[in-house]
A and B are shown apart, each in its own frame.
Chain A
Amino acid sequence: MHATSALAEADRLMTVCNSCRYCEGICAVFPAMEMRRAFSDGDLNYLANLCHGCSACYYDCQFSPPHEFNVNVPATMAKVRAESYEAYAWPQFLAPTFRRNGLVISIATCLSVFAFIVGFVALRDPSVLFGVHVGPGAFYKLMPHNAMAVLFGAAFLYAMIAIAMGIRNFWRDIGEPASTLTKPTSLWQAIKDASSLRYLDGGGVGCMNDEDKPTDTRRFYHHLTFYGFLLCFAATTTATGYHYLLGLEAPYPWYDLPVLLGTLGGLGLVIGPIGLLRAKYQRDSELVEARSYGMDVGFLVMLLLTSITGLLLLVLRATPAMGMLLALHIGIVFALFITMPYGKFVHGFYRFLALVRYAKERGDAH
């Protein structure tokens, strides 16, 4: 009846939960569940991606293990979610990269960093790599700006296309018409819910990670990570504008906008992932979804490496270490880009879209 055993288990749980409904006030999953009586694979994939894994429902449930009904919604939804990422992957032959995500990311990163080092050495004089370069255009002594822009532009474009195709697969699977995406009220509601992580909050009490008290801090660290990422992205975009529109070449002084944005974002992207990694490490073993553990950790480590190497580059850019650090930093960023459609990064898109659908369903119900 269901494509996988995880989906069958999710169906069983939603039947249990729909008969109980005590968790209705905790998040969006349970009200969305109540709008249905039977659960297709598409419904379950929608609910699984709507679930933020806050886990309040697990500790609030009178039927969670060791009770014989064995109700563990967060772990089951995490499993369904992980499988759904794979099912939506584009192109499909790359779907298995989700399963060995840690390995794939490590290899991609090593190769990418290696290629940049070799590239710097092969295309330029080896001495350039360890030389001291200061002033405008210092970075481009190692790699011309246009080459950098083309390479990263292409990687980014590929990632966006692959993610867009995945989104299309998701939207079709849950059976939602394209027109939902054009409803401004639903979109605005989803933007508010996603940007505040409204449903990573146990219904206002706080969520839970390793015990039955709402002491979890994931929401805070996720904010640092997410907004840190956005600031870094804004830094890069601003710098690109400086380069092409104003003709100003990097590196920029510390007080200039790209550096300020990047530094602030970088700090968020150091503290945030560390906090999330710590929460992951402390998480109640009953709630851990073993299969996606490597993927989650891999993504967080990549973000952390990106920010650490970026900040080091800022501090040491006037020293002979700059060349190697640049290779390391842009090698990591490149690997991050190309693995984006096949790792934890996609969760944000599917969850946001699930929130858009939920906002629409809520609107229709009222």
Chain B
Amino acid sequence: MKNGEIIGQTAHQVTEAVGQRHDVLVIGGGNAALCAAISARRAGASVLVLEAAPRFYRGGNTRHTRNMRCAHDSATETLSGPYTEDEFWEDLKRVTQGHTDEELARHMIAQSKEMLTWIVDQGVRFQPSLGGTLSLGRTNSFFLGGGRAMLNALYATAEQLGVEIRYDAEVVGLEIEDGMFLSATVKEQTGTSQVRAGALVTASGGFEANIDWLKQGWGEIAGNFLIRGTPYNRGTILRILIDNDIQQIGDVTQCHAVAIDARAPKFDGGIITRLDCVIYGIVVNKNCERFYDEGEDIWPKRYAIWGRLVAAQPDQIAYIIFDARSLELFMPSLFPPIKGDSIAELAGQLGLDPDKLTDTVATFNNAVQPGTFDPDNYDDCTTAGLTPPKTHWARKIEQGPFYAYPVRPGITFTYLGVKVNKEARMIMSDGKPTANMFAAGEIMAGNVLGQGYAAGIGMTIGSVFGRAAGQGAAKYARN
């Protein structure tokens, strides 16, 4: 019955909407888009959301998220301790190595405090940090049921407020005049139509699913990248905005790239294809050569450099090799490891040269120094006289059976985007703010994240700038 009602209601709204002008048009359907739509609607604007994906795939990469990082001055029901604005800023400065806009970033961090309650008011529920993520228990608020549960709550709230939502509705053109948005061209199954609105919020994500665009920065090797999230982030809107004189920030190669299981699907494999075992073994390329210190730092801190490292290897593939002692030290993942009773046998299974791999492992084993292995903390297990060295968790790979995971670069999201100010208003290439155009989420994440990443910041950017964009757009459109 409930279904019938909603379908009936939506159909009714759609017929009404043909040719109708909305106060605010939101392009995109993820966290940033919904926060914008809800806040604009709450400010009294009529809102239309155009989501390019079908209903099931709605929400872009938000579907794959699990938490957001918000500053807070004391512990809460789900957060184990305080996380001050200053500490958040220090973390951001460190992960981006200063490649951020301090004023904008500090503004976002200050606003993030309110988001903890605002987002709950929109129906989203938090829970304590998940098993295997203890290190985030103080800083990050986890969504009960994950990102899709969060989306379901936001969509339900938006629908309840009377936000009109259309799926399978891809915007393929924008009519912009002197920094003023006039209308959008929407492609739907029923045909192509024009949508007019008083203000525009673009929250349509990055362009990581557009391999040709990635190739412009990375060259042909981008063809070997896997895309961890939505296949719908093709950057169509981002391209149109840049072509319409909106100021671009960031460069095409900046993105969040980790090493994920090479057997993952090309798109949308999500979190379950990640591998947390690099620090317990060695990583070799297709020539059986090691190429980086696997034990440089505790894993969460180095997680996001391995995508780039593997991208720099021949054929963009590498293999994590470890022995039976390490098998249960890390979070399980989707695909089982490839197994061999000897290193040579394992090499055969991986299509690597057995002699070379045996040799690499033997050289590594010979360089391992005595030490006390501690899987959870920095330990004193290192190598001597080895290039590159392994500076922690260096244990001989000697106890069979032996295991391997093949890995490839997995792109989570991209940073090239459009420049915005604190109100999430887009900035023209001459530095002037646009009149009625706002951006939120991955499409403008590069304003805060010039490079690097810390868990949950993407959702913070989406919520804070999404809400600001919705408020700004509503205010403009209703004046």
Residues of A whose CB lies within 8 Å of any CB of B are: 15-16, 18-26, 31, 34, 37, 56-57, 59-63, 66-69, 202-205, 210-213, 215, 282
Q: Report the nearest A residue to B268, measured CB to CB.
A: A67
Do residues A26 and B272 form an inter-chain contact, with CB atoms below 8 A?
no
Do residues A22 and B145 form an inter-chain contact, with CB atoms below 8 A?
yes
Residues of B whose CB lies within 8 Å of any CB of A are: 1-3, 6, 56, 63-64, 66, 125, 127-128, 130-132, 142-149, 152-153, 155-156, 265, 268, 270-272, 274, 328, 331-334
Do residues B131 and A24 form an inter-chain contact, with CB atoms below 8 A?
yes
A207 to chain B, nearest CB (A): 11
Q: Report the nearest B residue to A22, measured CB to CB.
A: B146
Enumerate chain A residues within 8 angstroms of B334, measured Cβ to Cβ: 15-16, 19, 69
Do residues A210 and B3 form an inter-chain contact, with CB atoms below 8 A?
yes
5 more CB-based (< 8 A) A-B contacts, given A19-B274, A23-B146, A68-B265: A20-B146, A22-B271, A67-B56, A203-B145, A211-B3
A190 to chain B, nearest CB (A): 22
Q: Binding site of B, secondary structure by majority: helix, strand, loop or mixed?
A: mixed
Enumerate chain B residues within 8 angstroms of A21, measured Cβ to Cβ: 130-132
A62-B63, A203-B125 given as contacts; is B271 within 8 A of A20 (CB)?
Answer: yes
Please tell me which one of the listed residues A19, A67, A204, A212 contacts residue B125 in the complex, with CB atoms under 8 A apart: A204
A19-B272, A34-B131, A62-B63 given as contacts; is B332 within 8 A of A56 (CB)?
Answer: no
A21-B131, A26-B144 given as contacts; is B125 within 8 A of A205 (CB)?
Answer: yes
- How long is the Cα–Cα vector from A104 to B178 in the complex, in angstroms? 76
A286 to chain B, nearest CB (A): 11
For the complex of A and B, 3 pairs with smallest distance between CB atoms = A22-B146, A60-B145, A25-B127
A19-B332, A25-B127 given as contacts; is B2 within 8 A of A60 (CB)?
Answer: no
Do residues B144 and A204 form an inter-chain contact, with CB atoms below 8 A?
yes
Do residues B131 and A205 form an inter-chain contact, with CB atoms below 8 A?
no
Enumerate chain A residues within 8 angstroms of B153, measured Cβ to Cβ: 205
Please tell me which one of the listed residues B145, B148, B332 contacts residue A37 in the complex, with CB atoms under 8 A apart: B332
- How long is the Cα–Cα vector from A169 to B1 in the complex, in angstroms? 41
- How long is the Cα–Cα vector from A204 to B153 in the complex, in angstroms? 13
Q: Binding site of A, secondary structure by majority: helix, strand, loop or mixed?
A: helix
- How long is the Cα–Cα vector from A15 to B63 in the complex, in angstroms? 20
A22-B130, A68-B265 given as contacts; is B271 within 8 A of A202 (CB)?
Answer: no
Chain A to chain B contacts (Cβ below 8 Å), 25 pairs: A15-B332, A16-B272, A18-B332, A19-B271, A19-B332, A20-B146, A21-B131, A22-B66, A22-B147, A24-B130, A25-B142, A25-B144, A37-B328, A56-B145, A60-B145, A62-B63, A62-B148, A67-B56, A68-B265, A203-B127, A204-B125, A204-B144, A210-B2, A211-B3, A213-B152
Please tell me which one of the listed residues A15, A23, A63, A210 contacts residue B145 in the complex, with CB atoms under 8 A apart: A23
Q: Report the nearest B residue to A62, measured CB to CB.
A: B63
- How long is the Cα–Cα vector from A79 to B152 in the complex, in angstroms? 27
Enumerate chain A residues within 8 angstroms of B142, measured Cβ to Cβ: 25
Please tell me which one of the listed residues B1, B152, B328, B333 contacts residue A19 in the complex, with CB atoms under 8 A apart: B333
B135 to chain A, nearest CB (A): 15
- How long is the Cα–Cα vector from A362 to B155 in the complex, in angstroms? 34
Enumerate chain B residues within 8 angstroms of A18, measured Cβ to Cβ: 332
B46 to chain A, nearest CB (A): 23
Q: Report the nearest A residue to B63, measured CB to CB.
A: A62
Please tell me which one of the listed residues A59, A63, A68 contacts residue B152 in the complex, with CB atoms under 8 A apart: A59
- How long is the Cα–Cα vector from A202 to B143 in the complex, in angstroms? 13
B27 to chain A, nearest CB (A): 22
Query: Among B144, B155, B156, which residue has the most Cβ atoms of chain A within 10 A?
Result: B144
Enumerate chain B residues within 8 angstroms of A24, measured Cβ to Cβ: 127, 130-131
Q: Report the nearest B residue to A67, measured CB to CB.
A: B268
B165 to chain A, nearest CB (A): 13
Do residues A202 and B146 form an inter-chain contact, with CB atoms below 8 A?
no
Do residues B332 and A60 form an inter-chain contact, with CB atoms below 8 A?
no
Q: Report the nearest B residue to A25, measured CB to CB.
A: B127
Query: Among A20, A62, A212, A282, which residue has the most Cβ atoms of chain B within 10 A?
Result: A62
Q: Report the nearest B residue to A26, measured CB to CB.
A: B145
- How long is the Cα–Cα vector from A77 to B331 in the complex, in angstroms? 23
- How long is the Cα–Cα vector from A15 to B155 in the complex, in angstroms? 30
Q: Report the nearest B residue to A66, measured CB to CB.
A: B56
Enumerate chain A residues within 8 angstroms of B132, measured Cβ to Cβ: 21, 34
Enumerate chain B residues within 8 angstroms of A34, measured Cβ to Cβ: 131-132
- How long is the Cα–Cα vector from A246 to B265 in the complex, in angstroms? 74
Do residues A19 and B2 form an inter-chain contact, with CB atoms below 8 A?
no
B61 to chain A, nearest CB (A): 10
- How long is the Cα–Cα vector from A22 to B66 in the complex, in angstroms? 7
Enumerate chain B residues within 8 angstroms of A15, measured Cβ to Cβ: 332, 334
Enumerate chain B residues within 8 angstroms of A20, measured Cβ to Cβ: 146, 270-272
Enumerate chain A residues within 8 angstroms of B155, measured Cβ to Cβ: 212
Q: Report the nearest A residue to B127, measured CB to CB.
A: A25
